[in-house]
Amino acid sequence: MLFCRGWLLKIIQGYQHRQPMSPLTFAVTLADWTDKQDMLRMMLNCLKSQTCHDFDVILADHHYDARRSVVAELSEHCSFNVWHTPVNPAPHVARRYMDCSVFNVGWVMSEAKGCVRYSEWRFLSPDFVATLLSEPADLFIDFDFHCLHDEAPWDRTTGDIMWDRVPDFGGKTKNYPITPSNCYGNVALSREKWLDVNGFNEVSFNFYHWEDIDYSARCSNSGYAAKRIVQKMVRMHHDYGQYPNRANRKVEREFKPICSACSDLISYASSNVGVDDDSIGIVSESQWSSLFDARYPQVKRVDQGRKSWHVCQKCNFIFPCVTPDGSLDYVFGDPEYKTSPIDVSGSGRNLRNLSDDLNGLSWPDKIELYKNSWENPRYLEQL
Ligand SMILES: [Zn+2]
């Protein structure tokens, strides 16, 4: 009897922690830590102010432990669910600056038909959700890049956005028969189409942060029609934090650091080639590639289709060998480039398999499965 009761309790608790189906998930990433959590307050206020509340929110948080109680408190009175998760990086892949797999967290853990990426330092018009849900579900939706150089519309005490202080940025909403090349990361798409291109690239971006171009290119190469909407999402100009993942303080679950040989190489490049230590750098990827190749005996060149990468055999630090024409040609010059790489020396996952396995699990079980997904052979299978 006790045994049955225990199982019954477990089943009930499982349902309590299970996501109900929504048409839309906001895949939120948060790396900065701001005074009185005013960034989080502002983003949640933007979501609370929506005219349509038919969505849920997955918050992938680099400061999950420290922010847990305030997220619970702030989301208590929301009419939508806020699912909070830590960002668990791959334990076996060294990174130097960015780990773009964070952008996949909300999308792969969602059960919604569609997702939109929502990064910090951005605010949303109150009809953002209503506008998105009025569009065809399979359309790639991009938001015209509106950037403010001051915080005038943001009341940092209340977290409110004063729309009467937001300028009219001009421009018109446009339709595109094929996804344009200059989309930014905060875009919306059906999860099915996102899975078809295998989400955001988890392999190639250690220094140079053009995962949005890579993603747009694969959507373009896959023939996705797009729409660019004006005046719905506004970015506030900001400095990036100097900690990994561009955070402004040390994150709780750090990615694996690069080995001493890779570190030496980067120091050499910094002093001899003029790489900016801010990691954006002024050296082209092809220069990096040849430098790495010439100076580094532990490098293995890995080829997959028409793409190749340099991989450090010691720490698994990876970056792509791009053509001399640069990054645009790397992704747009290859019309067969439609899915992000999987299993480049153990880096890059099969997100469809992972999504299938996450589907229907309770939230704690999802967090656990995600955490353990990096070296599971099922998630390294090619599509
Ligand atoms: Zn290394």
Q: Is 65 a member of any domain? A: yes
Residues in the 5 Å CB sphere of ion ligand 1: 259, 262, 312, 314-315, 317
Q: What is the pLDDT of residue 275?
A: 47
Cα 318 to its chain centre, rounded Å, is 18
Distance in Å, CA 190 to ligand 1 centroid: 37
Q: Is 11 a member of any domain? A: no
Which residue range is the domain that position 297 belongs to? 260-332
Distance in Å, CA 95 to ligand 1 centroid: 9
SS (H, E, C) 232-262: CEEEECCCCCCEHHHECCCCCCCCECCCHHH
Q: What is the pLDDT of residue 7?
A: 53
Distance in Å, CA 306 to ligand 1 centroid: 24
Distance in Å, CA 378 to ligand 1 centroid: 26
Distance in Å, CA 350 to ligand 1 centroid: 24
41-72 in b/e form (b: 16+ CB < 10 A) is bbbbbbbbbbebeebbbbbbbbbbeebeeebe
Distance in Å, CA 313 to ligand 1 centroid: 7
Q: What is the pLDDT of residue 366?
A: 98
Q: What is the pLDDT of residue 271?
A: 66
Distance in Å, CA 158 to ligand 1 centroid: 46
Asked whether residue 162 falls in the same domain as residue 233, the answer is yes
Distance in Å, CA 249 to ligand 1 centroid: 24
The long-range contacts involving 353-358, CB below 8 angstroms and separated by at least 24 positions, are 353/378, 353/379, 353/381, 354/108, 354/379, 355/108, 355/191, 355/195, 358/108, 358/109
3-state secondary structure of 294: helix
Asked whether residue 240 falls in the same domain as residue 278, the answer is no
Backbone angles phi, psi at 243, to 5 degrees: -90, 160
The number of distinct structural domains making up the chain is 2
Distance in Å, CA 255 to ligand 1 centroid: 14
pTM given for the model: 0.91
Asked whether residue 248 falls in the same domain as residue 267, the answer is no
Distance in Å, CA 293 to ligand 1 centroid: 12
pLDDT along the chain (383 residues), means of 10: 52 62 94 93 96 97 97 92 97 91 97 97 97 96 94 90 93 96 92 98 82 94 97 94 91 94 78 50 62 80 89 89 70 93 96 98 97 98 96
- Separation CA 136–CA 23 (nearest Å): 12
- Separation CA 294–CA 310 (nearest Å): 11
Distance in Å, CA 206 to ligand 1 centroid: 12
Distance in Å, CA 106 to ligand 1 centroid: 29
Q: Can you point out the beta strands (E) in 62-139?
A: 82-86, 114-119, 122-124
Q: What is the pLDDT of residue 284?
A: 62
Rg (CA), the chain: 21
Q: What is the pLDDT of residue 77?
A: 85
CATH number at residue 192: 3.90.550.10
